[in-house]
Structure 1
C-alpha cells in the first residue's frame, strides 16, 4: 500500500457502478478510495421533465440525495476518516419530434431498460426512434461534499451522434444483453461504441464520470489528483 495514500483520508464513492470506480482510480489511488453504496435507490421521476433546466435540476437532486444517504451512513457509524464523499447520476436525453411538426421537438429522458418483459423491443424502439442517424446527450451530475460539509456540484453534457440504422448489428447487440442495466440501453465503453459516429465533449461523461470536471471539483477541495501531479 502507498504510505502517503494510506495517511490521507478516504474518498468515499457512493456508487454501485464498477465503471465509475475504475474511472475514479485514474485520478485517485485505489487504496485511497472506498465504495459505500447508497442504502436507498433513488427514483428518476423524469416523466414530466422536458427542458434542460428541469432535467439538470432533477439529475442534480438525485446526485445530492445519494450523497446525503452516504454521509448519513458515515455519521451513523461514527466515521470521520474521509476527505470527501462523491456521488453522481447519469441520464441519456434525446429529442422526441412531435407528430404535428417535426421542427418542434421536446426533450425526453431514457432510463435503464425494464428487465421484466420484452426489454429487447424497448431498446430496439429507442435505437430506431431516438438514436440512429441522430444526436442525443449524456448528462451527468456530480456531487462532492468535503469533510467540512462544503458542497461542490457540476453538471456535464456530452453530445453523442449515432450512425445510420444497421438493424442486423442492432439485433446482434441485443443478443449480447449488454443494454441491461445501462442508462439509455447502451454502453459506449463496450460493444455499444460500434454505433457511435462522433462525440462532442467528455467521453468519460458518457461512461458515467466526467474526469475533467471531477478533477476541478477535487482541486477545489484541495485534494491532489493524478492530473494535478503531472
Structure 2
C-alpha cells in the first residue's frame, strides 16, 4: 500500500514515478485551469499544482500525502495551452518553430498541515518546421491533449534540437525535484515495485 496519491491520471506522470520506484495511487481531479489576470506563468503552474493536490486530498478525505503537478509551455511569456483544434495546434507549432521556449512544471506536495512546492523551468529549442510537418504531426493525434501541442517523449522528439534543463519536467514531472520533496516528508524512492 502506498502513502502517496498522485493527483493525476496522466500515464506519463505515473510512468515517471514508477521509474524512480515510488509507490503511489492515482486519483485525477478536475479544476478550473483559467489563467488569472496578471498571473505570471510560473505562479500559474505553481497555483494549479497546489490546487490539484488540495482538491484531490479533499475529495478523498485522506490523510495521505498528495502530489499535484502542472505543466505549461511558455513562449514570449505567453502560456500555450492545449490545442482547441487542428488550426490552433498547427499555429502553436509554427510559433515554436526555429526557436526556443520554456516549459514550466510545478510540483506541489500536500501532507499533514504542510504544503511544499517547486517550479522547474526547462528551455526547449525546436528546429525549423514546415507547415506540412506540423499538419502531418497533428494527424497522428498525439498533440491533442498536450500543452503547447506537442509531446517531447513521442513523435515530436524529432522537432527538438536541444534542451537545457530537466527532460522529465518537460514530460510532466521533474524527477530530481520530486524525489527531493518526497524525501523531505519521509516517502522513499527506489522501492521494489513488485
Distance 1:47-1:110 versus aligned 2 partners, 3 A rule? farther
- Give me the TM-score of the superposition, normalised by structure 1: 0.78
Matched, 1:172 2:158: no
Q: Distance in 1 between matches of 2:24 and 2:4?
A: 5
User: In the alignment, what sits opposite 1:28?
Assistant: 21
Shift of 1:92: 0.4
Shift of 1:172: 1.5
SS in 2 for 1:169: helix
Write out aligned runs for 1:152-167 (5 A): 152-167=116-131
Higher Rg: 1
Matched, 1:55 2:25: no
- Consecutive unaligned residues in structure 2, runs of 5 or more: none
Contact kept, 8 Å, 1:63 with 1:88, in 2: the verdict is yes
Write out aligned runs for 1:126-205 (5 A): 126-128=92-94, 130-146=95-111, 148-205=112-169
User: In the alignment, what sits opposite 1:123?
Assistant: 89
Give 1:225's match in structure 2, choosing from 186, 189, 193. Answer: 189
Matched, 1:91 2:72: yes
How large is the Cα RMSD of the aligned pairs? 1.7
User: In the alignment, what sits opposite 1:11?
Assistant: 4
Q: Distance in 2 between matches of 1:123 and 1:57?
A: 24
- Give me the TM-score of the superposition, normalised by structure 2: 0.91
Distance 1:64-1:222 versus aligned 2 partners, 3 A rule? same
Q: Distance in 2 between matches of 1:46 and 1:175?
A: 32
Query: Which sits farther off after the overlay, 160-169 or 85-94?
Result: 160-169
Shift of 1:154: 0.4
Matched, 1:41 2:31: yes
Q: Distance in 1 between matches of 2:68 and 2:43?
A: 15
Shift of 1:46: 5.5
- Consecutive unaligned residues in structure 1, runs of 5 or more: 1-5, 96-106
